[in-house]
Amino acid sequence: MGRIQLNDVTKSFGDTQVIPPLNLTIEDGEFTVFVGPSGCGKSTLLRLIAGLEDITSGAIEIDGTDATSTPPAKRGLAMVFQSYALYPHMSVRKNIAFPLRMAKMDAAEITRRVEGAASVLNLTDYLDRRPGQLSGGQRQRVAIGRAIVREPAAFLFDEPLSNLDAALRVGMRLEISELHKRLATTMIYVTHDQVEAMTMADKIVVLRAGHIEQVGSPLELYRAPRNTFVAGFIGSPK
Ligand code: ADP
Ligand code: MG
């Protein structure tokens, strides 16, 4: 399960409201992309969903249950950070196992999950290496592995590929799309890159200054952008 609903969610930092009342439903299993220019509130929105920031007003529901006050570790969601968030002194195995060790999971279950994730991500032969001995793409896979082992209801990605070079980015996009097909788990993917949005999304949420300009499938946004801002962002001819 992984249905996420935002009901009249707002966020202010001090006197500045960066998210005006926002309503959005993300269906279970959907690959949703938040797209918009730098500073429009993509990361803030993701952090509110993850519980890393408190909302100022409104409510967040996960699978029909109010999760507004639920701490991040209990929301059943896993944030995927850029690969430089790995621990350089730990092996791949220990990096992937880290959230499970924190949760004091049984050692045999940790091994089972880490090896399962490594197999899905083609990292089986690299479990004893350290991040510094891996390629950029492999490091990003380790960061994804750390989320997979938690068996989350949803994955939250915040521009995970932005520090990879262009060729690697194309490959990793495909890998993440494949992973979504394979796991059939809700994924929310933040990017300012139109190509990522158009090629990866089931549903695109176009954000501007904290509010939603338009929500739709890539084809819907391409065929019928609501205004020139959406058209410009999606790269359609209108
Ligand atoms: P994006 O991820 O789309 O680039 P952010 O969500 O990081 O945008 O930022 C949205 C707005 O909120 C920006 O104006 C940013 O300066 C502001 N903001 C984000 N985090 C904080 C914070 N911790 N304190 C104050 N302002 C913040
Ligand atoms: Mg951001």
Spatial CB neighbours of 104, under 8 Å, sequence gap ≥ 6: none
Q: What is the pLDDT along the chain (238 residues), one digit of tens a residue?
A: 899 999 999 999 999 999 999 999 999 999 999 999 999 999 999 999 999 999 999 999 999 999 999 999 899 999 997 766 899 999 999 999 999 999 999 999 999 999 999 999 999 999 999 999 999 899 999 999 999 999 999 999 999 988 888 888 999 999 999 999 999 999 999 999 999 999 999 999 999 999 999 999 999 999 999 999 999 888 755 4
Ligand nearest, relative to CA of residue 40: 1
* Nearest protein CA to atom 13 of ligand 1, as residue: 39
Q: How far apart are CA 230 and CA 96, in angstroms?
A: 38
Note the ligand closest to the C-alpha atom of 35: 1
Residue nearest to ligand 1 atom 15, measured at CA: 39
Q: Which of the ligands is closest to the CA of residue 38?
A: 1
How remote is the CA of residue 44 from the centroid of ligand 1, in Å?
Answer: 6
pTM of the model: 0.94
List ligand 1's pocket residues with C-beta within 6 A: 13, 18, 36, 38-44
Please, are residues 179 and 155 in contact by the beta-carbon 8 Å criterion?
no
Q: What is the DSSP pairing of strand 203-208 with strand 211-216?
A: antiparallel
Residues with CB under 5 A from ligand 2 (ion): 43
122 phi/psi in degrees, rounded to 5: 55, 45
Ligand 1 atom closest to 158 (CA): 2
Q: How far is the CA of 55 from the centre of ligand 2 (A)?
A: 17
Distance 10 CA to ligand 1 centre (A): 13
If we measure between CA atoms, which residue out of 212, 22, 17 comes closest to residue 229?
212
Sign of the torsion angle spanned by Cα atoms 54, 26, 157, 73: positive
- Relative to the CA of 159, which ligand 1 atom is closest? 2
Q: What is the mean pLDDT of the chain?
A: 94
DSSP string, the chain: ---EEEEEEEEEETTEEEEEEEEEEE-TT-EEEEE-STTSSHHHHHHHHHTSS--SEEEEEETTEE-TT--GGGTTEEEE--GGGS-TTS-HHHHHHHHHHHTT--HHHHHHHHHHHHHHTT-GGGTTS-GGGS-HHHHHHHHHHHHHTT--SEEEEESTTTTS-HHHHHHHHHHHHHHHHHH--EEEEEES-HHHHHHH-SEEEEEETTEEEEEE-HHHHHH--SSHHHHHHHT---
Query: Which residue's CA is the closest to the ligand 1 atom numbered 24?
Result: 13
